Chain A
Amino acid sequence: MKIAVCLKQVPARDTQPRVNESKTWLREQDATFELNEPDAYALEEGFQLRERHGGEVVVCSAGPARVAQALREALARGADRAIHVEDDSLASADAFAVADALAAAIEGERFDLVLTGLQSDDQGFAQTGVVLAERLGIPHATIIMEVAVQGDRVRVKRELEGGWFQWVEMPLPALLTIQSGINQLRYATLKGIIAAKKKEIRKVTPAAVASRQRIVRLRAPEKTKQTQIIPGPAADAAKELVRRLRDEARAIE
C-alpha cells in the first residue's frame, strides 16, 4: 500500500511569535520551527497501516528551505522517502496554494491513501487536506479516529460533535485527515536519525503560488475581559487569589 503523509512545519508551540515590520507575518528569522503536532499523528497512522498492509510511507511538505528539517525528522521516525515542494512564498500561503502545490507534486505517484493532520498550529485553516482531495479527484473524510483498510476500500470512524461518532466507507484511493491523539506517537531513534541521512528528499518547484486570501494585519488578540493579574511570591498570590474568589467573585464559600 502506497501511503502519502502531508505535513507542515510550524512555529514551535512554546514560543511567542514576533510580528514582522509590515504586520502581515511573523519574523521568520526569530522563530524556531517544529513538525506540526496534528500531522505527527497522521504520520504515526501511516506507519501503523504500513505495518499491517506493507508498502511505503512517503512524507510530503510544501514550504521554504527550512521545511527539509521537518521532513528529515519524519524520515528519522521511519518514513521511507520525502517530497519537498520548495518555495519561500509557501511559508504564509493559504490552504488552496499549499494544496495546489502538493497536488501537482504527488498526483503522478498514484498513492492509495493520503493522510494529513487535522489542522496546522500556525494558520489553522483546517482546509488543506479536503482541498487536496478535491484537487486529486479522490473521496475524503475528516477528523478520523480509526482506519480499517479492507481490500480496495477503507472504513473509517469519524468524530462528530458532542460525543457522537460515525463509520464511513469509501473506495481507495482516498484522503483522510487524522484526529490528534488516536495513536501513540513514536519518536526518532539514533538508528533512525542515521538511516534518515541516506533517504531521498525529492525537491519539486511549484508552479505560481496563488493564495486566495491574505493577512493584512497581525495583532495581539483583543481582550474580552479585564484580567486582574495577582503579583507576588506564590504564597502571597495564592492567599490573595483565595480572598478575591471568596469576597469579590463569590465563586467559593
Chain B
Amino acid sequence: MILAVAEQREGTLNRASWEAVAAAQQLAARTGLGPVRIAIAGGEVGGSAASLAEADAAEVVALEAPALGAYTADGFTAALAGLLATDPPAFAVFAHTYQVRDFVPKLAARLGWPLVTDVVGYGEPFEGRPAFTRHVFQGKLAADVVAESDGPCLVTVQAGAFQADLVARGASPAPVRRVEAAVEPSAIRQKPEPPFQEAKQAVDLSQAARIVAVGRGIKEQSKLALVEELARALGAEIAASRPICDAGWLPLERQVGSSGQTVSPKLYLALGISGAIQHAVGMKGSRTIVAINKDPEAPIFELADYGIVGDLFEVVPELVKALGKSA
C-alpha cells in the first residue's frame, strides 16, 4: 500500500496535496506496490476528505481529533505516527510544504523509518529498490537516492515536480473512513497562535507580464540602478532571489521563490541568479525564461529558453541599448 498524505488549513485543501496524490499514484504504477490510500489529518476534515475521494484511491482516511484543530508539530507527529504504525505503507508520500518540513522529520525519527525529502522524480530502480531523484549541491547535481532498508519509507515531493492535473480520478468516489487520532492534548508542547499576514503586499508580481529578476551576481546594491534601467526599457517589474532581499537591497515583497511569490509572466529575465531550487520553484512556470550569468554551469541555464554566458555588467547596458533601438 502506498499512502499519500494530504494537507489542509481550516478546511481548505492545500493544492500541493494533489501533487502528493499524483506522485503516490505514479509510484504505485512503477512499483506495483499499490493500492493507493490517501490520509488527511485535522480537527474536522470531512470536506477535504470528500474532495480527495474523487481521486482514484482505495480509501481516504480522515484522521481527526479536536487537538488537531490547530497545527502543531507534536500533535501531527503523534496522530500520523499512530496511523502509520498501525498499518505501515510501503511508502508514504507528502508534499514538501513548510508544514511537512516542520513535523515529518520528527515523524520519521519517531517511527525509525527513512525520509527522502524534496524529491523531483523517480530514477531507475537500484538493486530492486525504488530510487528517488532529488537535487543536491544547490541544484548543481541530481542524485538518485535509495533507502538502506526494505521497510516503510517516507518521501516528500517538491512543489511543481508532479503535476496535480495528472491525478487519476476514480469512476466513483473512494470510501472515506473516519479514524479517531490518538493525540493526548497535554503532550502537545507547542502553543500556536492564529496565522496572520503582514501588511498587504503592495507589489503583486503574479500579475506582471514581464519580470527582471536579480540575484547574488549583482554584487553591490548600487549596481541595482542598472537593473532598474533594463526593467524600464522592457516595461518590466523588478524581482529578486532571496539573498538580495535578505541583504535588504530590495523589499521582501519583491522576492520570488519558495518563501516569496510564485510568478508566471510572459518573460522572466534572470540576472546573476544561479537558479537554486528555492528560487526555481517560484519562476519555472514563466513562459519565456532568459538567463544571464557568468557561470556556464549555473542551474538557471537548465530552466532557460535563452541564455547568455557573460558578465551582466557588460551585457545589461548593451541590452538596454538594443531595446532602445528596437522600440
Contacts and interface: CB of A to CB of B under 8 A. Distances in A.
B164 interface: no
Contact of A143 (B102, B191, B322): B102
B126 A126 contact: no
Contacts of B326: 242-243, 246, 252
Query: Which size class do A's interface residues fall under?
Result: 35 or more
Contact of A212 (B98, B148, B277): B148
A181 B136 contact: no
Per DSSP, are chain A's interface residues mostly helix, strand or loop, or mixed?
mixed
Contacts of A166: 192-196
Contact of B198 (A141, A165, A213, A227): A165
Interface in B28-74: 72-74
Per DSSP, are chain B's interface residues mostly helix, strand or loop, or mixed?
mixed
Interface residues of B, number: 91
A235 B304 contact: no
A235 B311 CA distance: 12
A11 to B, nearest CB: 6
A159 B259 contact: yes
Given A17-B137, A166-B192, A212-B114, A227 B306 contact: yes
A252 B319 CA distance: 13
Contacts of A246: 326
B106 A242 contact: no
Interface string A211-248: 11111111111111111111000110111011111100
A238 B322 contact: yes
- What are the 6 closest A-B residue pairs judged by CB atoms, nearest first? A181-B246, A238-B318, A212-B114, A130-B105, A251-B267, A139-B189
Interface of B: 72-74, 97-99, 101-103, 105-106, 108-110, 113-118, 123, 126, 131, 134-149, 189-198, 201, 210, 234, 242-243, 245-247, 259, 266-267, 274, 277, 284, 287-291, 295, 297, 299, 301-311, 314-315, 318-319, 321-323, 326-327
Interface of A: 11, 13-14, 16-17, 19, 26, 94-96, 99, 121-131, 133-135, 139-143, 158-161, 163-171, 179-181, 210-230, 234-235, 237-239, 241-246, 249, 251-253
